[in-house]
C-alpha cells in the first residue's frame, strides 16, 4: 500500500448503531450467523461472498506490511491443535479464566470484573437487584480429543491464542531460516475461547482469527523494540481508517495484565461500543521461551554467534484480531448521506479502496443494446483477471451506483453511447461521486494504481 494516507472525502458521522451494520452485513453477503437454520450458535459467524473478499484483503495487507516488506520478519502457519502440555506451559490451563457470578433471582450471569463497583461490593444484580452468587471460576479453553478409541483418547485444546505455535516453532525457524536476533515470526490464524459473554456481533466471538508478531530480542534492546512496534502498529491502523481521532493507546493497569505480560498497551478504537481494544502490544519478556524450555526439557536459549553470549530471548508481541479489524473497518466506513433531494439516503461504505471487497463494477448504460452489452462484457472480462470485478445491468444507472456504494466499491465504469464512438468510458468515484472519461486501454493501469498496494 502506498504510504500516503487515505483522505476521507466525507464529514464525520455519529457512531453507527450495530444493528444497521449487522443488517447490511447479512443483506449484502458479508457475514451470516453460523448454523442459522438450526437457530444459530452464539458467538460464531460465517463470512459470505463479500465478507471473504474483505477478510482476504485485510489479511493480505497485514502480511504484506509485517512479513513481505520486513527484512527481519518471517511467517509461519501453525496447526490449531497442539500437544496438551503446551497449554500447561503457557499458563492457560491455570490462568485463562473468567470469574462469574449468577443472579439468584433473574438467573443472569455476569463477569465479576465487568460488574459496577457498587454491585460487586453489595453482591446485587445490576439488572433486577437480586442477590448474586459467590464468584465461580470458568476456564476459557475449548477442549477436544485426539484419537478414536475411547480409552486411548488424549484430551487437548483448540488453541486459546494463536501465538503459541510461534514459540513452538521458534527453534525450527531459527535453524532453518538462518535468522539472527533481533527477528520476528508472524502468523495469522484461528483461536478459540469459550467466552462466557460473547456478543456485540464480531467483537467477542468464540471462534475468531488473530494476527501476531512475536519479535525476539536481546533483553538490553527490549524497550527500543517495544516502542518501535507499538508505534508501527498504531500508524498501521491509522493508515486504514477514516476517523483518525477514534484511535488511541491505553496502558494496562498492573491488576489487569495478562499472566504472561509485564507491561501492555492496547490500541483502542472508539465505536458505538465505546473505546475498545483492537490490538494488544505486550511485553512478554522471557515468559514463553523459559516456560517451554522448562516444560519440554528442550533448551530454547539463543547463542550469539559473534559474542558467544547465551540467553533466553525476550519477546515483544503485537496481537490483533482479523475479525475485530473487519468489524472496526466497517463501522469506520459506514455512512448514510442525505441526497440533494433532501429525502433519499445514500448508504455508502468508505472503505479504503485497497481493502474494498469489489474494486470495480462494469455497467452497460442499457441492457437491451447489444453493442453496449458486448463492449461491457469485454471490459468486464479484461478487468476480472486483474481485480475483483462485478458486472451489473439490472435497473437504472443511479440504482446500480447505489448498490455498489453500499458494498464499498470504489469505482464504477459505465459503457455508454460515446464508448461505441471513441472507445472511452466513464469512471465514477464512490466518495466524490465525480466522473471522468478514460480510454478503455488506460483503465487497467488507472484502476490498479488505486486499488493495489505497492
Decide: is 51 part of the binding site for ligand GAP (CB under 6 A).
no
- Helical packing angle, 322-333 and 49-63, nearest 10°: 110
Smaller CB separation from ligand GAP, 193 or 350: 193
SS3 5: coil
Window of 13-21, 118-126, 277-285, 396-404 that interacts with ligand GAP by CB under 6 A: 277-285
Residues that contact ligand GAP, how many (by CB under 6 A): 18
- Interface map 305-324 toward ligand GAP (x if CB under 6 A): ------------x-xxx-xx
Interacting residues with ligand GAP between 142 and 161 (CB under 6 A) = 161
Among 55, 92, 193, 230, binds ligand GAP (CB under 6 A): 193
Smallest distance, ligand GAP to C-beta of residue 207, A: 8
Q: State the Cα–Cα distance between residues 180 and 138, nearest whole angstrom.
A: 40
Interacting residues with ligand GAP between 396 and 425 (CB under 6 A) = none
Smaller CB separation from ligand GAP, 226 or 380: 226
Q: Which three cell numbers stand for residue 54?
A: 474483505
Decide: is 204 part of the binding site for ligand GAP (CB under 6 A).
yes
- Helical packing angle, 322-333 and 18-27, nearest 10°: 100
Smaller CB separation from ligand GAP, 45 or 411: 45
Among 58, 141, 163, 168, binds ligand GAP (CB under 6 A): 163
Among 57, 90, 187, 210, binds ligand GAP (CB under 6 A): 210
Phi/psi zone of residue 151: left (φ > 0), alpha (ψ -120 to 50 degrees), beta?
Answer: alpha
Q: Which three cell numbers stand for residue 77?
A: 502457519
Among 279, 286, 288, 416, binds ligand GAP (CB under 6 A): 279
Smaller CB separation from ligand GAP, 293 or 328: 328
Smallest distance, ligand GAP to C-beta of residue 45, A: 10
Smaller CB separation from ligand GAP, 323 or 405: 323
Cβ-proximal residues to 78 (8 Å cutoff; 6+ apart), any chain: 162, 164, 165, 166, 168, 169, 187, 189
Smaller CB separation from ligand GAP, 98 or 416: 98
Window of 65-73, 102-110, 203-211, 409-417 that interacts with ligand GAP by CB under 6 A: 203-211
SS3 222: helix
CA distances in angstroms from 161 to 96, 250, 297, listed in the order given = 10, 21, 22
Q: State the Cα–Cα distance between residues 23 and 27, nearest whole angstrom.
A: 6
Report yes or no: 215 and 183 within 8 Å, Cβ to Cβ.
yes
Smaller CB separation from ligand GAP, 211 or 334: 211
Count of helix runs (H) and strand runs (E) in the chain? 13, 23
Smallest distance, ligand GAP to C-beta of residue 215, A: 13
Smallest distance, ligand GAP to C-beta of residue 75, A: 16
Cβ-proximal residues to 184 (8 Å cutoff; 6+ apart), any chain: 66, 70, 72, 73, 74, 213, 214, 215, 216
Write the DSSP symbol of residue 232.
H
Among 57, 165, 187, 205, binds ligand GAP (CB under 6 A): 205
Decide: is 277 part of the binding site for ligand GAP (CB under 6 A).
yes
Write the DSSP symbol of residue 136.
E
Among 6, 96, 183, 208, binds ligand GAP (CB under 6 A): 208
Of the CA atoms within 13 Å of residue 10, those in its CB half-sphere come to 24
SS3 291: helix
Smaller CB separation from ligand GAP, 243 or 324: 324
Smaller CB separation from ligand GAP, 50 or 264: 264
44: nearest Cα among 27, 53, 56, 31: 31
Report yes or no: 327 and 276 within 8 Å, Cβ to Cβ.
no
Residue whose Cβ sits closest to ligand GAP: 321
Smallest distance, ligand GAP to C-beta of residue 56, A: 18
Among 78, 135, 182, 280, binds ligand GAP (CB under 6 A): 280
Start-to-end CA span in the chain (Å)? 5
Residues in the site for ligand GAP, rule: CB under 6 A? Answer: 161, 163, 193, 195, 204-205, 208, 210, 277-280, 317, 319-321, 323-324
Amino acid at each position: 500500500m502506498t504510504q500516503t494516507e487515505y483522505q476521507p472525502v466525507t464529514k464525520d458521522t455519529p457512531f453507527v448503531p450495530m444493528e444497521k451494520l449487522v443488517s447490511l452485513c447479512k443483506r449484502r453477503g458479508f457475514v451470516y450467523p453460523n448454523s442459522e437454520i438450526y437457530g444459530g450458535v452464539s458467538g460464531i459467524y460465517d463470512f459470505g461472498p463479500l465478507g471473504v473478499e474483505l477478510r482476504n484483503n485485510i489479511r493480505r495487507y497485514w502480511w504484506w506490511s509485517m512479513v513481505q516488506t520486513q527484512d527481519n520478519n518471517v511467517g509461519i502457519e501453525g496447526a490449531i491443535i497442539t500437544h496438551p502440555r503446551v497449554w500447561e506451559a503457557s499458563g492457560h490451563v491455570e490462568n485463562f479464566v473468567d470469574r462469574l457470578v449468577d443472579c439468584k433471582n433473574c438467573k443472569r450471569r455476569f463477569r465479576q470484573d465487568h460488574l459496577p463497583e457498587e454491585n460487586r461490593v453489595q453482591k446485587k444484580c445490576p439488572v433486577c437487584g437480586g442477590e448474586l452468587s459467590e464468584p465461580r471460576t470458568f476456564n476459557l479453553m475449548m477442549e477436544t480429543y485426539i484419537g478414536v478409541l475411547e480409552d486411548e483418547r488424549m484430551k487437548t485444546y483448540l488453541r486459546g491464542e494463536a501465538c503459541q505455535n510461534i514459540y513452538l516453532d521458534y527453534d525450527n525457524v531459527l535453524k532453518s531460516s538462518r535468522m539472527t536476533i533481533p527477528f520476528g515470526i508472524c502468523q495469522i490464524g484461528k483461536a478459540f475461547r469459550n467466552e462466557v459473554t460473547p456478543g456485540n456481533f464480531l467483537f467477542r466471538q468464540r471462534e475468531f482469527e488473530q494476527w501476531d508478531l512475536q519479535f525476539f530480542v536481546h533483553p538490553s534492546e527490549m524497550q527500543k523494540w517495544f516502542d518501535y512496534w507499538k508505534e508501527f502498529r498504531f500508524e498501521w491502523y491509522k493508515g486504514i481508517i477514516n476517523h483518525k481521532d477514534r484511535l488511541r493507546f491505553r496502558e494496562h493497569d498492573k491488576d489487569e495484565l495478562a499472566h504472561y505480560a509485564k507491561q501492555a498497551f492496547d490500541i483502542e478504537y472508539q465505536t458505538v461500543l465505546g473505546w475498545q481494544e483492537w490490538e494488544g502490544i505486550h511485553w512478554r519478556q522471557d515468559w514463553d521461551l523459559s516456560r517451554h524450555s522448562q516444560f519440554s526439557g528442550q533448551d530454547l536459549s539463543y547463542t550469539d554467534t559473534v559474542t558467544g553470549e547465551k540467553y533466553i530471548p525476550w519477546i515483544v508481541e503485537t496481537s490483533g484480531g482479523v475479525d475485530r479489524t473487519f468489524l472496526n473497518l466497517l463501522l469506520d466506513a459506514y455512512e448514510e448521506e442525505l441526497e440533494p433531494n433532501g429525502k433519499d439516503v445514500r448508504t455508502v461504505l468508505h472503505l479504503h479502496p485497497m481493502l474494498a471487497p469489489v474494486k470495480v463494477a462494469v455497467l452497460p448504460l442499457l441492457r437491451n443494446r447489444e453493442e453496449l452489452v458486448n463492449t461491457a462484457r469485454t471490459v468486464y472480462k479484461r478487468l476480472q483477471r486483474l481485480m475483483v470485478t462485478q458486472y451489473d445491468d439490472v435497473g437504472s444507472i443511479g440504482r446500480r451506483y447505489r448498490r455498489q456504494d453500499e458494498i464499498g466499491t470504489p469505482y464504477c465504469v459505465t459503457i455508454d453511447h460515446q464508448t461505441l464512438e471513441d472507445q472511452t468510458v466513464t469512471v465514477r468515484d464512490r466518495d466524490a461521486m465525480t466522473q471522468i472519461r478514460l480510454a478503455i486501454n488506460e483503465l487497467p493501469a488507472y484502476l490498479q494504481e488505486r486499488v493495489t498496494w505497492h
